[in-house]
Amino acid sequence: MATDVSEAIEQIVQDRNMSEELAIQIVENTILAAYKRKFGNNDNAVVRFDDGGRVVTIHAKKQVVNGVFDPVYEIELEEAKLLNPDAEEDDEILIELDPKEDFGRIAVQSAKQTARQNMREIRKDSLYSEYKDKEGDIIIGYYQRKSKTNDTIYVDLGKIEGVLPKKFQSPREDYHVNDRIKALIYKVEKTATGLQIVLSRTHTDFVKAVFEMEVPEVYDKTIEIHKIVREPGYRTKLAVYSTNRDIDPVAACVGPKGSRIQAIIRELEGEKIDVLEYSTDSREFIMNALSPAEARDVIILDEGKHQALAVVAENQLSLAIGKQGQNVRLANRLVDWSIDVKTVQQYEAMDIYTDARKAVSALFSEEEEEISRISELPGVDAAVAELLRANGVDLIDEFFAAEEDGRLASIEGLDPEQIRVIRGIIDELTVEEEFASGGAEAAGAEAANADEPRAEGSGAEAGAAEAAPEAPAAGGAAADEDVDEDEYFCPECGAEITISPDSATAVCPNCGTELSLEEEEE
C-alpha cells in the first residue's frame, strides 16, 4: 500500500533545517526500523519512493518454494501464483505490505524513536562537517549566560551554542547578556551529549586572524607572519616580513596614521602590540625583538645553546626588560633565544668585555680604525663572510672560538681552504701590528735613554757585540784591505744593518735604534 509522506518530509525539512534528501533518508530508516521490530530483521525489506519522493511503499522480498520453512524469507508457490501467475519455484518476488495492518503499535513506536535518534545524529553530523571546516576561523556570536561553577561563557552562534572556557578568556574583558563576541573557533568535537564548539580569544591564531581581517597584505600573503607570542590582555609581539621588496611589512601592519593597528588594539580591548620585522640574522632579530627598547649591540654568548647578551643604554634598561620582565620574556619566546640584558656600564665591567677588548687591541693598532668583524678584513671574500655571519660567526673573536670548538668545520658550504685564507689574513695583520708596535716601543726607549751615559757591554752596544762576536777591532779592520763592509742584525727588530769598517757606530734603518761596536777587553 502506498503512503503519502510529503507532509512528513516537508515538516522535517522546515523544523530541522535539513535537506530533502536527508528527510527522505530519515523516513526510509524509520520504515525499516518498524519492519525490523515486527519481523526481527530487515535484510529482505525494500523501501521505494515514487512521484518525486512523495509516495512511499514497502515490500518484502521472498523466495518462492514448495514447502515454507521460514515465512519471513519464503512463500509457498501456490500463494505466489495468486500474486503473480507467472511465478515459479526458486523465483524471488516482492510482496507489498501495508504498514497500518502489517506493523503493530509497538513497531510504530520503535520506528518513531529511531526517527528521532536518526534526526539527532544527522543534524550532529551536518553541523560537525560545517564547523569542522571552520576551525581556525573567526566567528561572531552573542553572550547568553555564564556558568557559576567554572566561569565558562556560553555563546549563541545561531545554529548551535559555543563555549568560551575561562582559560580562553582575556583578563581584560567583561561581558553582559547579548554582548557581541568575536572569537576563534579553536576546536570542534563530538561528545556524548552532542556537538561541542570551543571558542578562544587568547590563542595566537586569534591575533593572526584579526590581522588578516584588518590588513589586506597579510590576507593575500604579501606580508607573512613569522611568529606570534602573547601574554593575553597585556602584550603581543609578532614578527613579520614582506615577500615584496617595495612594501614595508611593519608600516603596512600599522597603517596610515596607525589606523589598522588601532582597530586591532580595540578588538583586543587595549592590549599592547609590538610589530617588528623578522630577520634571518640572529643578532638583528634579537635587537628588533626587544622593541620598543633600542639595543646598542647584541653579543652571541653561545650559538649552540642560543644564549645572547643585549647591551642597552641606561635609560633603555627598564623599557627593554619591561614590567615584571614581560618584554624580555616575550622577546625570548619570539626569537627562541635566552637573552640577558645589560647596560653599557654593566657590560664593560664583565669579563667578556675585557677579553674582547684585549683581543681587538692585540690584533689592531690604536692609530688605525678598529676592525671587529670578519667582513671588515681586507681581502676577505664577501660571500664567505656572509656565509659565516649567517651561521652566527660575525666577529673575529667568534671566528677564533668557532675554529677552536670545531663549529667552522661543520658549516655547510665552507671548505678548509677558505678557513685557512681567513686565518692567514688575520695572522698577517697580527704580525704587521706586532712589528710596527715593537719598532715604536724601541724608538721611544732609545729617545728616553739618549742623555744617559753608556755602560760598556750593556744595552744596544752589548746586543751588537753579542750579535757579531767575530767583529774585528779597529786595528784589525784597517789591516784587512779586502773587506769594505760588515753586515749585522738589529737586536730590537731583527732588521739587517751594514756597518762600514771606518765607523764604529750605525743606526737601524727600520726602528732607528743606534748601535755601536766596541772591542771587548781581555
**pLDDT tens digits, one per residue of 92-151:** 878 777 666 666 667 667 777 777 777 777 778 888 888 898 998 999 999 999 988 888
Q: Does the structure show a pLDDT above 60 at 464?
A: no
CA distances from 481 to 290, 485, 488, 503 (A): 81, 11, 19, 15
pLDDT band at 522 (very low <50, low <70, confident <90, very high): very low
Is the previous residue joined to 216 through a cis bond, with omega within 30 degrees of 0? no
Structural domains of the chain sorted by starting position, each given as residue range(s) with its CATH number in brackets: 3-128 (3.30.1480.10), 134-202 (2.40.50.140), 351-436 (no CATH), 459-516 (no CATH)
Per-residue pLDDT tens for 228-258? 999 999 999 999 999 999 999 999 999 999 9
**181 bridge partner residues:** 141
Burial (CB count <10 Å: 0-12, 13-18, 19+), residue 467: middle
Per-residue pLDDT tens for 183-193? 999 999 988 77
3-state secondary structure of 399: helix
Q: Does the structure show a pLDDT above 60 at 365?
A: no
CA distances from 257 to 235, 260, 262 (A): 21, 8, 9
Instruction: Please answer whether residues 398 and 392 qualify as being in contact, where contact means their C-beta atoms are separated by less than 8 angstroms.
Output: yes
pLDDT band at 501 (very low <50, low <70, confident <90, very high): low
Q: Which of 65-69, 149-153, 344-348, 445-449 has the lowest mean pLDDT?
A: 445-449
Q: How many residues in total does the chain contain?
A: 522
Best-predicted range by mean pLDDT (10-24, 119-133, 294-308): 294-308
**pLDDT at site 358:** 60
Q: Which of 261-275, 280-294, 348-362, 388-402 has the lowest mean pLDDT?
A: 348-362
Distance in angstroms (rounded) separating the CA atoms of residues 390 and 407: 13
Q: Does the structure show a pLDDT above 90 at 286?
A: yes
pLDDT band at 52 (very low <50, low <70, confident <90, very high): low
Q: Are strands 295-302 and 307-312 parallel, antiparallel or unpaired?
A: antiparallel
State pTM to two decimals.
0.55
Q: Does the structure show a pLDDT above 50 at 50?
A: yes
The H or E element that residue 398 is part of is: helix 396-405
Distance in angstroms (rounded) separating the CA atoms of residues 508 and 491: 10
